[in-house]
Structure 1
Amino acid sequence: MLHVVYRSHGGENAKGRPAWYSKHLALLSFLRAVEQCPARGEVVFLNDGPIPRDRLEPMRRHGRVAAITGGSNRASYLAGLRLAVRSEWSDDDVVLFAEDDYLWRPDALTSLSAAAATGRAEYFAPYGVGTHDDVEGRVPQWRRPRAARGEDALPADVVRWVPHESTTSTFAVRVGALRQDHRILVVCCLSGGDFDHTSLLAVQGIPRFRLHDLVSHHPGTSTNPAVRAARAVYLTAFRSAADVVSLRRPSRRRRLAAADPAVCTHMEDGWLAPAPAGQPRYWEDLAAQTHRWAEGRTEGREPLGTR
């Protein structure tokens, strides 16, 4: 059974976005994928603060809405982890943590469910990411899953789930593994920066930070020496802890499988997943198709989220 915790916030940030981006589009594409997934379980919409009505009503029709006052991506993420860990879901089930600025293929959750049913991995990345040169101030780069490098690109309707190194805060995990790894994910979340990358490395038994990264940090925005010193101590402590908890016995190291090609994309400039071979406008076209699908449902007087 595939459960989902969909984390949403009513506001926007200053990130660069493609012209066709909207959080409403992200939700529509997600609902479309959920409706096509026969193995779906509970869907929980974890909303941090007020949500516009055009998004809130489909959420209420489709699943359970839980409101929190987190105030940050990190607080919302930790709340999502707690919700899943404390749920009554079976250890054999899978939970997908989804962010609210992704565009989903209609077959995304079906493909994920099939990968979980037939594969041995504990963690799954519907959208994988590459690594970076430095811990601070890095430029995002896409890297194809390891097993696919050097091979011909796959057509859009063929998805392989192959070993990969990391992903974002949009990932899936077997509930039993999540309950065992919860403390590791919390420690990594407090290590600053792109904690999602750190977390997925740690559960695989890969230390993230070099000695230089533990003692040399980006100074942050404060000009107060005391604040800067406190921040440095905090980051050194939690980055050291993240490296320590990553030193797992081989039998406890997790496996991460990523979709190739990606079954969703982060809608942020510089972070779009590569389009399938021969379809350079794939994600833009999918955005238009998603709107047409939603309009057809509305014209047919069938509310979204009722199937």
Structure 2
Amino acid sequence: MRLHVVYRSHGGENTKGRPDWYSKRVGLESFCRAVEQVRDERPDAGTEVVFLNDGPVPADRLDLMARWGDPVTIDGGSNRRSYLTALGLPRRRGWDGRDVLLLAEDDYLWRPEALVALVDAARDPRHARADYFAPYGEEVPDTGLPVRWERLESTTSTFAARVHALREDERLLWLCALSGGNFDYASCLTLQGRRRFTLRELVEHHEPADGTPAWKSALRRAYLTGMRTAVDVRSLRRPSRRRVLLGAEPALATHMEDGWIAPGPWEEIAATPAP
């Protein structure tokens, strides 16, 4: 089993609330330390890293990426488009179905041991039925004990999957991504055979900004109703195709966004020098 990582990055910022120690450079440095550790401690995993950059990124970050992996620039134009591009890489690059792919976003902070723990979890016979792994899992206290992997309802777009499962699920993940709103939540529920949208959510949608022509609003409502109905139908998976999602306890990474920071020594990790 090899580990492939696609680290999705964008040069810009958004308006989300961030902790004082946040920066995309800090997140990238923490990720590179995790790559360094997994290559040192699990060299047989042959860890491959692709930095998928949606548009230009600052030169200092690009230089660091080039030291630890393969920077690739695309013109996706949105988080959803770069995500869909990443989903197709296992198929386009012909990765072995027994391998594991980690999709990582650029506003996360990583523990140094994160990728080692992921490789060990994917190889553990006790987790043979698990198809998806979430380094950013439940908000459990950080007790300092070894990481545990437990069933999880949902995670973000930073997750790992066995390549054979991801290939089989690629069209379903596309469908979820096009259903509007928090598509990562829709993806996790649907993959596990759980219905995402209520009847009300199928027909009631947030209206676009004032000034949108009525015919465009009607088309948008019809599109979302159709896509969300399709997602709900696809959640009716036969038991053998319902995926198992495991989450790390405590979290091996945290989203660097106010209100969504997992328990852990993140300020200390953020202050660690670059590898």
* CA offsets 1:123-178 (integer angstroms, 9 cap, x no match): 0000026xxxxxxxxxxxx5x5xxxxxxxx45234210110101000000000000
Gaps of 5+ in 1: 130-141, 145-152, 276-281, 295-303
Counterpart selection for 1:231 from 220, 223, 234: 220
1:45 aligns with 2:51: yes
Match of residue 287 from structure 1: 270
Instruction: Provide the TM-score with structure 2 as the length reference.
Output: 0.93
Residue 40 of structure 1, CA deviation: 4.3
**After alignment, is 216-225 or 198-207 more displaced?**
216-225
1:261 aligns with 2:250: yes
2 CA distance for matches of 1:177 and 1:222? 42
Match of residue 137 from structure 2: 128
- Preserved contact between residue 123 and residue 171 of structure 1 (Cα < 8 Å): yes
Match of residue 263 from structure 2: 274
1 CA distance for matches of 2:68 and 2:142? 33
- Preserved contact between residue 3 and residue 43 of structure 1 (Cα < 8 Å): yes
Across the aligned residues of Structure 1 and Structure 2, the Cα RMSD in angstroms comes to: 1.3
Residue 274 of structure 1, CA deviation: 2.5
- Preserved contact between residue 6 and residue 97 of structure 1 (Cα < 8 Å): yes
2 CA distance for matches of 1:220 and 1:261? 39
- Name the SS of the counterpart of 2:47 in structure 1: strand
2 CA distance for matches of 1:114 and 1:154? 20
Instruction: Provide the TM-score with structure 1 as the length reference.
Output: 0.83
Matches within 5 A, 1:28-177: 28-37=29-38, 38=42, 39-118=45-124, 119-120=127-128, 121-128=130-137, 153=141, 155-177=143-165
Change (3 A) 1:164 1:110: same
Counterpart selection for 1:219 from 197, 207, 231: 207
- Preserved contact between residue 3 and residue 95 of structure 1 (Cα < 8 Å): yes
1 CA distance for matches of 2:191 and 2:90? 17
- Name the SS of the counterpart of 2:72 in structure 1: strand
**After alignment, is 247-256 or 222-231 more displaced?**
222-231
Identity of aligned residues (%): 59
List structure 1 runs of 4+ shifted beyond 6 angstroms.
Answer: none
- The alignment covers a number of residue pairs equal to 265
- Preserved contact between residue 85 and residue 178 of structure 1 (Cα < 8 Å): no
- Preserved contact between residue 9 and residue 50 of structure 1 (Cα < 8 Å): yes
